[in-house]
């Protein structure tokens, strides 16, 4: 599994919103400037996230975007599933994949399903709040067990 630029930038954008949540709705322009990400690229990410339970939007003069729930309730796993589609390390485990004819006798399927569980456990154990509270370079400690 390789996390795309979209997934990485979505995480940075939402973490920026968490850092500035006391400001209310935040413009994409200000996030783009702080994060060094194209505003057009952020608009593409917002298009994916705006119809989910993770992001609220407001139009108009004081418009912008903000987290729909607390940073402690937003996991890295949730964010990456929204932007990447899933966390499957191989195509045969992806949601909606054509069933593999070898699955019932595949000697490696347990390796891939185990890896998928470990990835999900790790990413679901890290919240935006965890990232806000740790200093860069410090080890990530899982505070939330799925």
Condensed to tens digits (0 to 9), the pLDDT of residues 120-130 reads 999 999 999 99
Handedness of CA 82, 78, 7, 58 (dihedral sign): positive
Examine residue 55 and state whether it is found in any structural domain, yes or no.
Answer: yes
Looking at the structure, tell me whether residues 84 and 33 fall in a common domain.
no
Tokens standing for residue 18: 């968490």
Give the tens place of pLDDT for each residue, 106-122: 999 999 999 999 999 99
Pick from 139, 130, 4, 36: which is nearest to 76 by CA? 130
Residue where a domain stops, chosen among 67, 85, 104: 67
State which residues form the domain around 113. 71-133
Looking at the structure, tell me whether residues 53 and 11 fall in a common domain.
yes
Give the tens place of pLDDT for each residue, 6-47: 999 999 999 999 999 999 999 999 999 999 999 999 999 999
Reported pTM: 0.88
CATH number at 20 reads 1.10.10.10
**End-to-end alpha carbon distance in the chain:** 20
């Amino acid at each position: 599994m390789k996390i795309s630029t979209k997934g990485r930038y979505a995480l940075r954008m939402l973490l920026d919103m968490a850092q500035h949540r006391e400001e209310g709705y935040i413009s994409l322009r200000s996030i783009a400037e702080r994060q060094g990400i194209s505003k057009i690229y952020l608009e593409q990410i917002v298009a994916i996230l705006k119809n989910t339970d993770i992001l609220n939007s407001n139009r108009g003069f004081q418009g912008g975007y903000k987290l729909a729930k607390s940073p402690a309730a937003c996991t890295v796993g949730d964010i990456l599933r929204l932007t990447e589609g899933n966390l499957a390390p191989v195509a045969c485990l992806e949601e909606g994949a054509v069933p593999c004819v070898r699955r019932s006798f595949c000697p490696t399927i347990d390796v891939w399903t185990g890896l998928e569980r470990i990835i999900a456990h790790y990413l679901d154990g890290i919240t935006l709040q965890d990232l806000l509270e740790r200093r860069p370079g410090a080890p990530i400690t899982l505070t939330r067990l799925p």
